[in-house]
Every structure is written in structure tokens, then in C-alpha cells.
Amino acid sequence: MTTIQNRQQTRFLSGIQSSGKLHLGNYFGAIKQHIELQEQGDAFYFIANYHALTTVNDPERMRELTLDVARTYLALGLDPERAVLFRQSDIPELHELAWFLATVTGMGLLERAHSYKDKVARGIPAKVGLFYYPVLMAADILAYQSNVVPVGADQVQHVEMTRDMAGYFNNTYREVFTMPDFKVNEATKTLPGTDGQKMSKSYGNTIEIFADGKELKKSVMGIVTDSTPVEDPKDPETNVVFQLYSTVASPEEIQTMADAFRAGGYGYGTAKKALLERLDAYFAPARARHAELVKNPDYVEQVLARGALRAREEAGKTISAARRACGLD
């Protein structure tokens, strides 16, 4: 088996917050792509529990959500022999690196962050951590000298800001940081939630990856639809149920549902039942693996501990170079 240590290829870096149970938007927008990329180069994936502190303040919940992100990646196919999986909080070097970046970054750059403005507009308190978020995210990316960052379209600005910060530092001192490029999965559109908005934990409109039984049924049957009568034709392309169905059904099944919508006489209730069936079947194997990992926490901790050692090794090299550049060696 080809391992991380003997591959000299592209280095991918991405992370996912442990701020809630992972959902279909996380899977189709990020996790699926991450797992595919582990075959194409060095892959470093972290559980962003430092970032999650901006919204999660219950310590027991934080611990459980952090472990569940790890279980989810492993259940869905991440191979710890091919990819580095680790907790952000196991890498203390990040904060020193973030401070280096903060000393060369202007306030104006952070004030332009879409994510910060959007969250404040939704009523999330404008705390320093939320404002500082892009700096820590830049440290996450630059610490491992990653050159490709797989992200959703809504995160592209953060990678661009990271490039700006790396440039500020390299120009002020000397070239220490690799300039990363973003990689957006063009095949994956932003997935709608049960209310038609972008699927997001903060909106409370998600369908969890490993939901089953009554929980899954409640989420799917609760999808908001319009009042078009059953007998009338409907446009599948603007329908949330059809958009979600398209992520888990075969091409033939997708075409059949689209034709049924356009012909009329096909109700949203029937479509939701088809979606429920396909979701349950699509994630059944991974759901079973996830259940086994819940029973084996020691294995999950071993994976995270090994990942942290590898990540700290790389972050330590970067910090040493940055300290020398600043004259702090």
C-alpha cells in the first residue's frame, strides 16, 4: 500500500467544524471530495474544534461532536494509512503562526470577510473569535505547506484571504509559506436544506448523514414544498426534494422522477417517500461502520493521535522557519 510518507505529490488540506452532527451538505459539498482526493496526493484533514468554539460552549457536547466527525470520516471511507486525520486542538503551533500572520494583516481585509458579515447579520454575536476566524483558518492552511485547499464555493474567499496573508508575511520577511490554491468541486452545487435555504447546521435545516428510522423520516417528510396541486406539472429543477434525490439516485431514477414531475399527477409526498428510500439505502453500509466505530472509541483516538503527530511534525517545520524569518529563533 502506498503511504503518506513515500508520496511526493500535491498536498491537500481541508477541515470541517465540529459544531453539530454532519449532514448531507457536508458530505456532498466536502467529505466525499476529501475521501476521493486521498488517492491523489498527501491529504491532511482536520476537525476544526477551535473554530467550533465560536458556537459550541458545552464541553461534553464539544468532545462528542469532535469524535463524531472522526467516526464519520472513517465510516465514509477515509483511510488513515493514506490521509492524515487530526484534531485542530492537538496542534498548539497554530496559535503562534496565527499571531505571526495577524501582525502583518490589515483590519480592512478581515472586515471584508463575507462569513463574518453574514453571521453577524443572522444575529450571531460579533465576538473577537468570529472576526479573527480567517486568521486562524489561514494558519490551518499554511502550517502544513499545503498547496491545494478543497472548499465549497462559499469558502473560496477564505483561501484568497490566506493567500493575501501569506503574501504579506513573505514580502515583509522572506518567503516561508507556500501559496495555496482553492479547489471547488464543480460537480457539486450548494445543497438545499429542508427549508429551501443552503443546508447548514446554523439554519437548523439539515438531514444528518447517519439519520435513520423515525429521525430520517421526520426530516425528509418535513421538507418545505409549494402548494402546487398534485395533478399539475411541476419543474423538478426548482424543487428541493428532486435536488436532494439527484444526489443519491441513479441517472435512470433521476430521469424517471423528473419526467413524473413534468407530466403532472405526481405529488410531493410520493417524491419524499422515494427520497427517503434512496437516502436510507445510500448510507446504509457507512451507517453500519459508524455504529461499529461508536463501540470502538480507542481505535478512533489512536487514529487521531497518529494524525496529530504527523501534523505537528509538519507544523513544527513551518513554525521554525517563520520564527527564523522574524528573528525569534
pLDDT at 124: 75
Confidence label for 116 from pLDDT (cuts 50, 70 and 90): confident
What whole-number distance in Å separates Cα of residue 86 and Cα of residue 239? 38
Instruction: Evaluate if residue 5 carries a pLDDT over 60.
Output: no
Average pLDDT (226-253) is: 95
Average pLDDT (59-66) is: 97
196 within some domain:
no
Shared-domain flag, residues 154 and 225: no
Shared-domain flag, residues 70 and 161: yes
Catalytic pick among 183, 198, 273, 317: 198
Q: SS3 sequence, 235-249?
A: CHHHCHHHHHHHHHC
204 within some domain:
no
Instruction: Evaluate if residue 183 carries a pLDDT over 80.
Output: yes
What whole-number distance in Å separates Cα of residue 34 and Cα of residue 15? 9
Chain segment 131-164, per-residue pLDDT in tens: 899 999 999 999 999 999 998 777 889 899 999 9
Instruction: Evaluate if residue 6 carries a pLDDT over 90.
Output: no
Q: Looking at 111-125, 218-232, 289-303, which range is the least confident one?
A: 111-125
224 within some domain:
yes
pLDDT at 251: 97
Shared-domain flag, residues 51 and 146: yes
77 within some domain:
yes
138 within some domain:
yes
Instruction: Evaluate if residue 301 carries a pLDDT over 90.
Output: yes
Nearest to 88 by CA among 311, 322, 329, 296: 311
Nearest to 16 by CA among 113, 87, 98, 110: 87
Greater pLDDT, 15 or 184: 15
Chain segment 260-279, per-residue pLDDT in tens: 999 999 999 999 999 999 99
- In degrees and rounded to multiples of 5, residue 146 shows phi and psi of -75, 145
Average pLDDT (63-70) is: 97
Shared-domain flag, residues 74 and 178: yes
Shared-domain flag, residues 42 and 137: yes
Confidence label for 3 from pLDDT (cuts 50, 70 and 90): very low
Average pLDDT (112-117) is: 82
Instruction: Report the SS3 class of residue 106.
Output: coil
Nearest to 57 by CA among 124, 136, 111, 102: 124
Nearest to 44 by CA among 306, 278, 256, 302: 306
pLDDT at 189: 62
Shared-domain flag, residues 11 and 131: yes
Shared-domain flag, residues 252 and 318: no
Is 201 in the active site?
A: yes
119 within some domain:
yes
- Does an H or E element contain 279, and which? helix 268-282
Chain segment 195-217, per-residue pLDDT in tens: 999 898 878 999 999 999 999 99
Instruction: Evaluate if residue 9 carries a pLDDT over 80.
Output: no
pTM: 0.91
- How far CA 20 is from CA of 56, 69, 189, 213, in Å, comes to 9, 9, 21, 20
Q: How many domains does the chain have?
A: 2
Instruction: Evaluate if residue 324 carries a pLDDT over 60.
Output: yes
pLDDT at 188: 58
Confidence label for 187 from pLDDT (cuts 50, 70 and 90): low
Shared-domain flag, residues 178 and 116: yes
| DSSP sequence for 166-232 | HHHHHHHS---S---EEEE-TT-PPPB-TTSSB--GGGT---BTT--HHHHHHHHHT-------TTS
How many separate helices (H) and strands (E) can be counted in the chain? 15, 5
pLDDT at 121: 77
Instruction: CATH number of the domain at 276, please.
Output: 1.10.240.10
Is 127 in the active site?
A: no
Instruction: Evaluate if residue 4 carries a pLDDT over 50.
Output: no
Contact 79, 119 (CB under 8 A): no
Question: What is the domain range of residue 48?
Answer: 4-190+297-326
Confidence label for 125 from pLDDT (cuts 50, 70 and 90): confident
